[in-house]
């Protein structure tokens, strides 16, 4: 599947296009997201941490359906959904203290952001993520 066969052979540019970050940043993120790590059971092998994070990042960068992403990574669409939800929660837990000030979100700041995006032609938008 994509993760096991294609990704290891990718140069830096295609990796960045698929996951929106360098391999080095990906490894750093994996080192901070260890709470997402799972263990094998008697019934099945777990999805490894790096693959779980790659699935979530691919979901966030793509408009593909969970079923398509699941097929690419060799997992079920319900696994893709659960991994994405867990990833979003764990990103907040693992990174918010380091990267967001304690007063990050308040009513005034939310209104400033929404008003700024509205002036740019994006009503009801709070933020945007992209790559230059």
Stretch (H or E) spanning 68 = helix 66-73
| Start-to-end Cα distance in the chain | 29
Q: For residues 86 and 79, is the Cβ–Cβ distance under 8 A?
A: no
pLDDT of residue 54: 97
pLDDT in tens, 95-110: 888 887 777 778 888 8
User: What is the pTM for the complete model shown?
Assistant: 0.79
CB 32 within 8 A of CB 94: yes
Residue with tokens 């263990």: 39
Which tokens is 109 given? 């700041």
Per-residue pLDDT band at 57 (split at 50, 70, 90)? very high
């Amino acid at each position: 599947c994509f993760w096991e066969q294609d990704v290891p052979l990718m140069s830096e540019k295609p990796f960045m296009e698929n996951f929106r970050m360098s391999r080095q940043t990906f490894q750093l993120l994996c080192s901070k997201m260890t709470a997402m790590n799972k263990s094998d059971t008697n019934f099945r092998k777990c999805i490894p941490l790096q693959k779980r994070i790659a699935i979530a990042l691919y979901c966030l960068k793509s408009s593909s359906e969970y079923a398509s992403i699941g097929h690419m990574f060799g997992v079920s669409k319900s696994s893709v959904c659960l991994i994405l939800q867990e990833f979003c929660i764990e990103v907040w837990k693992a990174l918010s203290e380091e990267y967001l000030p304690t007063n990050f979100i308040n009513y005034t700041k939310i209104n400033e952001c929404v008003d700024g995006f509205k002036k740019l032609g994006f009503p009801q938008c709070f933020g945007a993520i992209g790559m230059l």
